[in-house]
Amino acid sequence: MTLIAHITDLHLRPRGLPCYRVSDTNMLAERAIKALCALTPRPNAVVVTGDLTDRDDPREYAVARRLLKMLPMPVYVLPGNHDSTEGMRTNLTDFPGVQSADGEKLWYAADIGGLRMIVLDSHDPGRPTGHIGQAQLEQTRKLVLIALHHPPAQTGIKHMDAMGLRDSAELSAVLKGKTQVKRILCGHVHRPIITEFAGTIMTLAPSTCHQVALDLTADGPAMFNFEPPAYFLHDMPEDGHVVTHTAYVEAFDGPCDFFADEGIVWPGDERP
């Protein structure tokens, strides 16, 4: 079994500064990291699909480094539209893959358990949209798992779809018919979303902090709320299929035994 934890959109800020004035993203990210550290079985790796920082600030990368270094397993990072390729190369250079990436884009391959993951850089300098380019498209011809920040498919949340991947049609053309591509892992939209793209399954992980409000109207405003922070666990047994679980960061009451009352006859349950 190969188990990959998938977190995204941490939006870390310099110490003491909230995000959007009201979201304590650093505290929420630390809770998520501690939840990952406590998982049993332990994931083989963690992939962070972008927006580690909120403003591409070196102080924010320092917070990201401190938190991600708490994890006892390999951590694979990639830039989102709130980060930058250069900022990640400069400040997170010792994370797997970052130091070996070359060219204008930060993309690399990682072997995790029995699969290969290609990490793509969809950062589009000066724009909130995403773009991967021809060189990275060529790498997707031989994959099992693809990770990038911007989802290549529409989600129905219009203000987020307007900031999607600009060359999604080119990616679709490369991937169609490639049955070895089991999942596309994305972030950006701050919601747990699963849909199809180019004959495979695309999973958008929820954020470790605030979530984008679910508004499917044509002119829905850009709003967020404090639905529970969560992450995905991608479980890949030896037979090659993939099961994706949503896991919530915060603790809930329970677990409770479904069969705790076996043998007990409750009032009104008596049979003649």
Q: Is residue 106 part of a domain?
A: yes
In the chain, alpha helices (H): 25-37, 58-68, 85-91, 133-139, 158-161, 168-175
pLDDT of res. 114: 77
pLDDT of res. 241: 85
pTM for this entry: 0.91
CATH number at residue 77: 3.60.21.10
Number of domains in the chain: 1
Range of the domain at 42: 2-248
pLDDT of res. 225: 98
Q: Going by C-beta distance under 8 Å and a sequence separation of 6 or more, which residues neighbour residue 134?
A: 170
Backbone φ and ψ of 49, nearest 5°:
-90, 55
| Rounded Cα–Cα distance for residues 32 and 194 (Å) | 21
Q: Is residue 255 part of a domain?
A: no
Paired tokens of 105: 């884009």
Q: Is residue 267 part of a domain?
A: no
Q: Is residue 112 part of a domain?
A: yes
Q: Is residue 272 part of a domain?
A: no
Q: Going by C-beta distance under 8 Å and a sequence separation of 6 or more, which residues neighbour residue 247?
A: 35, 230, 231, 232, 233
Placement of tokens 């529409």 in the chain: 154
pLDDT of res. 115: 83
Q: Is residue 257 part of a domain?
A: no
Instruction: Check residue 59 and give left, alpha or beta (phi > 0: left; psi -120 to 50: alpha).
Output: alpha
pLDDT of res. 159: 98
- Ordered per-residue pLDDT tens for the chain, 272 residues: 899 999 999 999 999 999 999 999 999 999 999 999 999 999 999 999 999 999 999 999 999 999 999 999 999 999 999 999 999 999 999 999 887 766 778 989 999 987 889 999 999 888 888 898 877 776 665 458 999 999 999 999 999 999 999 999 999 999 988 778 999 999 999 999 999 999 999 999 999 999 999 999 999 999 999 999 999 999 988 777 899 999 999 988 989 888 887 766 667 666 55
| Rounded Cα–Cα distance for residues 218 and 220 (Å) | 6
Q: Is residue 265 part of a domain?
A: no
Q: Is residue 259 part of a domain?
A: no
